[in-house]
Amino acid sequence: MPAAILRENFKALGLSQDAADMLLQIWGAAQFFDDCADGGRIKRADLNRTLWDCLVGIQLNRFYAANSALLIPVIATAIMKWQGSDTAERRGAADARSYMWRAGFYDIV
């Protein structure tokens, strides 16, 4: 899903600009790391942006800074759901449950 569509949906939900920016950083990082795991071709610009977003950018986001104590466990759970989904998929055991785990990003939203 393109970032522009996500941004429109976040606006429709009434999310602040800072919240939408944070979610787009997380979405972009998740897509980047999924591409890495799948052996996809990685562009240097995407690597540079993701490195910045993960190590600096998200911490500078005002929404994240104000809500990190609540967000960290939710983000951690979404990561574990993705890992579970990925493991199931690689073992040939993907099903409706693992598909829903893959959608853990929406728990953060």
Contact yes or no for 28/53 (Cβ under 8 A): yes
Q: Over the chain, what is the mean pLDDT?
A: 94
Query: 89 is in which domain, residue-wise?
Result: 3-108
Q: pTM of the predicted model, to two decimals? A: 0.91
d(CA 99, CA 103): 7
Give how many domains the chain has, as a whole number: 1
DSSP track, 53-103: IIIIIHHH-HHHHHHHHHHHHHHHHHHHHHHHHHHHHHTT---HHHHHHHT
- The 3-state DSSP class for residue 20 equals helix
Chain segment 18-50, per-residue pLDDT in tens: 999 999 999 999 999 989 988 989 999 999 999
